[in-house]
Amino acid sequence: MRLRRWELAVPAVVLLCALPLNGCTTTSTTTDGIATETSEAASSSFGSSMSSLAAPSLSSPSSSSAAPPTTNSPDPWPADLSPDQVAQAQAALTAYKGYIKLVEQAYTDPGGDWSAEVVNWASDPVRSSLLRNLAATAELGQYRDGSFAIEPTVTQVDQGVVTMTVCVDATDVGFYDKSGTSIKAPDAPGTYLRHPSTVTVAKFQGDQWLVYEIVDDYNTTC
């Protein structure tokens, strides 16, 4: 079962659970044939959610030039990309890494106001999902610490849209209740701490690259 969420979830509630590591419950619905999910903080569940909504208003929505992944590139993108595609891949990777760092920081203080920072790294639905889950985590008195280890690889570059696969490792991320007791999900099917994620980063008006969608598979390890 693939879990969708939105924000690079973290062992807490992130991407819609934004990289959740635990602390989310997930409900699936279907919109126009696309599986979507919503999540809300919970004291001991793992969960993840990432909405797959209508495509963003990109600055360069046309002229698709997908590049099939290859295995011989020393860089984290296909070897046969054009210079322009390489530049897009690099920009997308920078945006994704920046988003992950923000998620790590925000969950150490989920009650803070992160609305100004998140606009630098993510668009809706990821952006709103992260802010909602931070608020829900703070309301429960929960928090996280530690850092994610990520191994992103660009798989496709269209004009203004970059897709990547990421091995996300939350082994060093802690998740705690208000008393400081660990409520981190177990490393098991459905809550694997090291799992694959599919990330979409898009170029918006003003040449700003933002994380647009994240889909995590907690039933598979990587």
Place of tokens 């040449």: 207
Least confident range of 6-10, 83-87, 191-195? 6-10
Q: Find where tokens 């991407």 sit.
A: 15
- Does position 64 have pLDDT exceeding 80, yes or no? no
3-216 topology per CATH: Nuclear Transport Factor 2; Chain: A, (3.10.450)
State mean pLDDT over 49-78: 47
Confidence band of 210 (pLDDT split at 50, 70, 90): very high
pLDDT higher than 90, residue 112: yes
Question: What band does 47 get if pLDDT is binned at 50, 70 and 90?
Answer: very low
Q: Is residue 29 over pLDDT 70? A: no
pLDDT value at position 31?
22
Q: What's the pLDDT at 43?
A: 31
Report the pLDDT value the prediction gives residue 72, as an integer from 0 to 100: 53
| Average confidence (pLDDT) over 182-211 | 96
Least confident of 3-17, 64-78, 134-148: 3-17
The whole-number pLDDT of residue 73 equals: 60
Cα dihedral: 97, 105, 144, 215 (round 10): -30
- The domains of the chain are located at 3-216
Average pLDDT of 110-120? 97
The confidence band for 139, taking pLDDT boundaries of 50, 70 and 90, is very high
Residues 118-129: tens digit of each pLDDT:
999 999 999 999
pLDDT of residue 74: 81
Average pLDDT of the chain? 76
Model pLDDT for residues 146-187, shown as the tens digit of each residue: 999 999 999 999 989 999 999 999 999 999 999 999 999 999
pLDDT on residue 6: 37
